[in-house]
Chain A
């Protein structure tokens, strides 16, 4: 867990103790989306943070003891929750687009090791004031 300190100091991001900042490319996209949306004023950081805290708490309450923890999956879900709350993009739209992308002929996509059980946000507000129609094909 702690590397011997005499091997190298902290002078080498992105790796510290041999750990990459992002394990997979999609994680960096999920991270970059959240930060660029925040910087563009799409939502406040505490707003996103609250959504992330809620997602993490829900996972921790429901997870089996040996279930692996995938931080960026929760990050992505929190980002979706925040955007749905702001009526920017709905979960249904993301699902529809995801399914459309899955139909693409595959050549050399990088395989993610596992498939995700993406949960649809449990819509804490229930009565969503969004006027966006969901794109269902």
Chain B
């Protein structure tokens, strides 16, 4: 399909409208395209789940850090230098053999950007947002995570000022791995609580 030329009764593509808004804002000195480019590059290339994976691997290998992380997530995460929009108040919850935490934003897409980057499409999707609250066990199972019936599931809704980060269980058989070796095992899905971390 080709873009329309905005003929009568035809709405021009959203890309044009975005460009129009950017032009107006630039002309009025409200945005600086250079600053914008830096922000986009930062989120496209630098800020991603790797930040969170480093936090998790540290917590798995350093009991003192783990204690600080569960006590004051925001401060412990800042020790790595990770902070920014949507990272003002991050609470970390720990998954165990008997309790499982999963995160959602029922109203929009709140998500801890500094540690996980921008949310994946499934997290923003109306279906996940509506259903994981009502039937978490079913939704998790559909996403490939089967939890025993005796595991207690807590769903955390990020609609307040709080962003949540799940500290997944360290998989059995990784006792010999170092912090650096553990980092690549930790996935974004595990830190949202829709997956477990698997041993390599």
Contacts and interface: CB of A to CB of B under 8 A. Distances in A.
A32 B109 CA distance: 16
A126 interface: no
B200 A6 contact: yes
Interface string B97-131: 00000000001111000000110111011100000
Interface string B19-50: 11111110010111001110110011111111
A79 B48 contact: no
Contact of B17 (A16, A45, A52, A116): A116
Contacts of B48: 10, 12-14, 16
A118 B16 CA distance: 11
A112 B15 contact: yes
A130 interface: no
A49 B110 contact: yes
A49 B3 contact: no
Contact of A57 (B6, B14, B36, B107): B107
A9 interface: yes
A58 interface: no
B197 interface: yes
A124 interface: no
B1 A111 contact: yes
A111 B30 contact: no
Interface residues of B, number: 72
A22 to B, nearest CB: 7
A115 B10 contact: yes
Interface in A12-48: 12-14, 16-17, 19, 21-22, 24-26, 28-33, 35-40, 42, 45-46
A62 interface: no
B143 A2 contact: yes
Nearest to B35: A36
Interface string A85-109: 0001100011101111111001001
A118 B14 contact: yes
A11 B5 contact: no
A113 B1 contact: yes
A106 B4 CA distance: 11
Contacts of B169: none
Interface of B: 1-6, 10-25, 28, 30-32, 35-37, 39-40, 43-50, 52-53, 85-86, 107-110, 117-118, 120-122, 124-126, 142-145, 161, 183-189, 194-195, 197-198, 200
6 contacts: A2-B189, A2-B195, A12-B50, A14-B117, A71-B109, A111-B2
